[in-house]
Chain A
Amino acid sequence: MIGLTHYLVLSAILFSLGIVGVIRRKNLLMLFFATEIMLNAANVAFAAISSYYHDLSGQMFAFFIVAIAASEVAVGLGLLILLYKKYGTLDLDNFTMLKG
């Protein structure tokens, strides 16, 4: 049967996909996608565990995460558009103004 473990493995795979994306992707938009994947991986884990333990707080928390992810994306995309307008590129390697 499909048990908790399967969901957690799925979550882990999704999370690692997200991390790989964060590490490897140079395009800022792609970075956002990868971050989204990570967040959703966490959601899967929350929902699965909540269902397994019959405790609704996990699924509530998943809703929180969805809401916050949405707002974060909204702000992020807004900034991203401004960035693109100013510099004409979204390649991370070009943004080294904070080099110390």
Chain B
Amino acid sequence: MESLVYIALFSPLVGSLFAALYGMSPKRLVTGVVTSLLLFVSFVASVMLLQHVVNVGPVRVELMDWIVAGDMRIPFGFAVDQVTAVMMTVVTLVSTVVHVYSNGYMEHDKGFNRFFSYLSAFVFSMLVLVMSDNFLGLFIGWEGVGVCSWLLIGFWYHKEDVGRDVNPSISPSWAANEAFIMNRIADLGMLVGIFLIYWNIGSLQYEEVFRAVPNLDHGLLVLIGIMLFIGAMGKSAQFPLHTWLADAMEGPTPVSALIHAATMVTAGVYLVIRANPLYSQIPEVSYFIAVLGTFVAIFAASMALVNRDLKRIIAYSTLSQLGYMFAAAGLGAYWVALFHLAAHAFFKALLFLGAGNVMHAMDDELDIFKMGGLKKQMRWTFLYMGLASLALAGIWPFAGFFSKDTILEAAFNEHSYGIWFVLWLTAGLTAFYSFRQVFLTFLSDERYKQYGFHPHEVQKYVLWAMAPLAVLAVVFGWWKESFMEFVTQLLPAYEMSEHTHHMVWILIVVTMAIALGGIAVAYVLYAKRLKRSEKIEQSLPYRVLSNQYYIPILYEKVFSKPYAELSDIAWKEIDLQVVDATVDGIAHVVEESGDGARKMQTGNLSDYLKWMAAGAILLAVLAVFAALKH
């Protein structure tokens, strides 16, 4: 069993190192094939481990000591329990699909080999993150995915910076830096949380920490919970550290599918789920997490309503769904959050990959206003994206229905009617914007013809690679019961009260109603043809939403520019003119006094004799006084 753990964990690393050997060479197909194969091996190992955990129980291995100093002993240790097994399977499955897909998508890219190296390295980091049995191991994976996403978002680093009106993300390298720095801000919070844990509990191993949690002071637990959540906020792009997610769309689409739909951004949710013994003790913090998640859900959905960029719409929907996951976790329904995480991974990755197909067909065009009627040329992509959108909108019997509905049930169960209402509303918005995008891209009028595009479907093997995701997007929800039984061996079981059981059907109907309503509105507005309205597009609400509530510009004006200016002042005014000038000033004083004293050396004997005489007389006087004193 131990060897399965190592195989699952290290195969992607081996693939990454292999591809790195060709990093600076022109495209070699073998890199794409080998890395995809190794990912598949990892996936098989993960499934076998999942089997083992289902039938027998968790698996623990310890590779070696990493950091040993003082009383701190941190090993490279890995534990595959129920939660980890689920995460591993999801991650490796989606990663394998994305790797195969990328063979087609990145076919003509010069950095083909480099891409696969980075992609596999990313999967390795993510596996370290979910498989570690201690907080610092998690942090290794945490920072690792941060670096890999920096490399991948900024993959086309040769593109230059442009103004926000041309590209709201300015450039891939700019977006990459933004992602890395924003994550770092959150990482500081997480580090402080780790320090608090170590000095109060004495260990960073999950088992020991969670055993000690019930005996700790409540205030301390609140602080730790907040600090760890700040870390989660960065990775999962919760408000206010959310702007990097949309800008991360500058990376190649497979990157978006893997990192920003299925894996990296879910790391924050994973952390909260993993630390559930802690968060169960501090309901006020959990409730705040739920409220923030709910806010993010509707906040992101609102921005997706008016967006024209194909990938950004999907990015906002990811952000919104992350909000749902945090809402579930915050309400104590941890297994529901995990369930939605998995379901979302499948259909969101499918959506992104479908978007990639569209972009490929449309010479990387992203504006859905320039598309339309593509279902004729791209039947399968239309089918996939349609299925994924149905799942996303939470329509029965697709996967999203089971997960989202349970979250809404949980909100209702907790008597958090405010949360329920906002999430319910967001479900409607979600359905609306998802299908707005589908209709404007695949149905409605064929606007692409006037721009001279010649779209065509992608290669057959790419479509076959996407198939597993499509299947899962449909059937995954049907396994909700067995999923719940499995993960609640570790996670707290969340029981709905009797009251809710009666209400369940009403809730389901109400939710389906608004979801179908959203689709219907989108159909009416967009299915036939795109009607643009100057009045609406110039109106304030529209402009606020399409400019992301002007938050990126706000950040630039309040943080980036002042920091740059303060730094400039620190250098030119303070360091050069105050600190250094003081040093040079002291030197100057010494020099000037020397210069002054120099005047005594006239070279004139007569002057020297005068000085001698004066000195001698002074000494004599002093001697007389000294003698008189005695």
A contacting B, Cβ–Cβ less than 8 Å: yes
Is B29 engaged at the interface, CB distance under 8 Å to the other chain? no
CB-CB < 8 A to A26: which residues of B?
606
In the complex, the answer to whether A96 meets B609 with C-beta atoms within 8 Å is no
In the complex, the answer to whether A22 meets B613 with C-beta atoms within 8 Å is yes
In the complex, the answer to whether B603 meets A98 with C-beta atoms within 8 Å is yes
Is A23 engaged at the interface, CB distance under 8 Å to the other chain? yes
Is B593 engaged at the interface, CB distance under 8 Å to the other chain? no
Tell me the complex Cα distance, A48–B598, Å: 44
Contact of B603 among A19, A23, A25, A99 (CB under 8 A): A99
In the complex, the answer to whether B603 meets A100 with C-beta atoms within 8 Å is yes
In the complex, the answer to whether A100 meets B598 with C-beta atoms within 8 Å is yes
In the complex, the answer to whether B603 meets A95 with C-beta atoms within 8 Å is yes
Which positions 14-37 of chain A face chain B at CB distance < 8 Å? 19, 22-23, 25-26, 31
Tell me the complex Cα distance, A31–B605, Å: 10
In the complex, the answer to whether B598 meets A93 with C-beta atoms within 8 Å is no
Tell me the complex Cα distance, A96–B607, Å: 11
Contact of A95 among B598, B604, B609, B610 (CB under 8 A): B604
In the complex, the answer to whether B613 meets A19 with C-beta atoms within 8 Å is yes
Is B215 engaged at the interface, CB distance under 8 Å to the other chain? no
Mask: chain A, 35-58; 1 = CB below 8 Å from B; 0 = not:
000000000000000000000000
Tell me the complex Cα distance, A26–B609, Å: 11
Contact of A23 among B598, B601, B602, B609 (CB under 8 A): B609
CB-CB < 8 A to B598: which residues of A?
100
In the complex, the answer to whether B604 meets A96 with C-beta atoms within 8 Å is yes
> In the complex, how many angstroms separate the beta carbon of B612 from the nearest chain A beta carbon?
8
Tell me the complex Cα distance, A91–B601, Å: 18
CB-CB < 8 A to A79: which residues of B?
none
Mask: chain A, 64-100; 1 = CB below 8 Å from B; 0 = not:
0000000000000000000000000000110111111
Contact of B610 among A23, A96, A98 (CB under 8 A): A23
In the complex, the answer to whether A92 meets B603 with C-beta atoms within 8 Å is no
Instruction: Give the number of residues in A that approach B within 8 Å (Cβ atoms).
Output: 14
CB-CB < 8 A to A95: which residues of B?
603-605
> In the complex, how many angstroms separate the beta carbon of B275 from the nearest chain A beta carbon?
77
Tell me the complex Cα distance, A22–B614, Å: 12
Tell me the complex Cα distance, A95–B601, Å: 13
Instruction: Give the number of residues in B that approach A within 8 Å (Cβ atoms).
Output: 10
Contact of A22 among B602, B604, B609 (CB under 8 A): B609
Q: Would you call the interface of chain A mostly helix, strand, loop, or mixed?
A: loop
> In the complex, how many angstroms separate the beta carbon of A76 from the nearest chain B beta carbon?
13
Which positions 571-630 of chain B face chain A at CB distance < 8 Å? 598, 601-606, 609-610, 613
CB-CB < 8 A to A19: which residues of B?
613
Contact of A100 among B601, B605, B609, B613 (CB under 8 A): B601
In the complex, the answer to whether B613 meets A92 with C-beta atoms within 8 Å is no
CB-CB < 8 A to B602: which residues of A?
96, 99
Tell me the complex Cα distance, A31–B586, Å: 43
In the complex, the answer to whether B606 meets A92 with C-beta atoms within 8 Å is yes
> In the complex, how many angstroms separate the beta carbon of A29 from the nearest chain B beta carbon?
13
Tell me the complex Cα distance, A98–B605, Å: 9
> In the complex, how many angstroms separate the beta carbon of A69 from the nearest chain B beta carbon?
18
CB-CB < 8 A to B606: which residues of A?
23, 25-26, 92-93
CB-CB < 8 A to B609: which residues of A?
22-23, 31
Tell me the complex Cα distance, A5–B424, Å: 121
Mask: chain B, 206-237; 1 = CB below 8 Å from A; 0 = not:
00000000000000000000000000000000
Tell me the complex Cα distance, A97–B605, Å: 10
Tell me the complex Cα distance, A56–B419, Å: 120
Tell me the complex Cα distance, A99–B601, Å: 6
In the complex, the answer to whether A92 meets B601 with C-beta atoms within 8 Å is no
> In the complex, how many angstroms separate the beta carbon of B363 from the nearest chain A beta carbon?
82
Tell me the complex Cα distance, A93–B604, Å: 6
Tell me the complex Cα distance, A22–B602, Å: 17
In the complex, the answer to whether A96 meets B603 with C-beta atoms within 8 Å is yes
In the complex, the answer to whether B604 meets A92 with C-beta atoms within 8 Å is yes
> In the complex, how many angstroms separate the beta carbon of A98 from the nearest chain B beta carbon?
4
Tell me the complex Cα distance, A92–B604, Å: 7
> In the complex, how many angstroms separate the beta carbon of A23 from the nearest chain B beta carbon?
5
CB-CB < 8 A to B603: which residues of A?
95-100
> In the complex, how many angstroms separate the beta carbon of A83 from the nearest chain B beta carbon?
11
Tell me the complex Cα distance, A26–B605, Å: 9
CB-CB < 8 A to A31: which residues of B?
605, 609
CB-CB < 8 A to A98: which residues of B?
601, 603
Tell me the complex Cα distance, A9–B604, Å: 32
> In the complex, how many angstroms separate the beta carbon of A55 from the nearest chain B beta carbon?
23
CB-CB < 8 A to A96: which residues of B?
602-604
In the complex, the answer to whether B613 meets A23 with C-beta atoms within 8 Å is yes
CB-CB < 8 A to B610: which residues of A?
23
- Which chain A residue shows the least CB distance to B600? A100
Tell me the complex Cα distance, A73–B630, Å: 41
Tell me the complex Cα distance, A40–B123, Å: 105
> In the complex, how many angstroms separate the beta carbon of B511 from the nearest chain A beta carbon?
97
Tell me the complex Cα distance, A19–B606, Å: 12
- Which chain A residue shows the least CB distance to B601? A100
- Which chain A residue shows the least CB distance to B608? A98
Tell me the complex Cα distance, A97–B604, Å: 8
CB-CB < 8 A to A22: which residues of B?
609, 613
Which positions 138-192 of chain B face chain A at CB distance < 8 Å? none
Tell me the complex Cα distance, A100–B602, Å: 7
Tell me the complex Cα distance, A23–B605, Å: 10
- Which chain A residue shows the least CB distance to B614? A23
> In the complex, how many angstroms separate the beta carbon of A96 from the nearest chain B beta carbon?
3
Tell me the complex Cα distance, A23–B607, Å: 8
Which positions 330-375 of chain B face chain A at CB distance < 8 Å? none
Instruction: Count chain A CB atoms within 10 A of each CB in B601, B603, B604, B606 and give the residue with the most.
Output: B606
- Which chain A residue shows the least CB distance to B617? A19
- Which chain A residue shows the least CB distance to B605? A92
CB-CB < 8 A to A93: which residues of B?
604, 606
Q: Can you give 22 contacting A-B residue pairs, CB < 8 Å?
A: A19-B613, A22-B613, A23-B609, A23-B613, A26-B606, A31-B605, A92-B604, A92-B605, A93-B604, A95-B603, A95-B604, A96-B602, A96-B603, A96-B604, A98-B601, A98-B603, A99-B601, A99-B602, A99-B603, A99-B604, A100-B598, A100-B601
Residues on A facing B (Cβ under 8 Å): 19, 22-23, 25-26, 31, 92-93, 95-100
Residues on B facing A (Cβ under 8 Å): 598, 601-606, 609-610, 613
9 nearest CB pairs, A to B: A99-B603, A100-B601, A96-B603, A98-B603, A92-B606, A92-B605, A22-B609, A23-B610, A96-B604
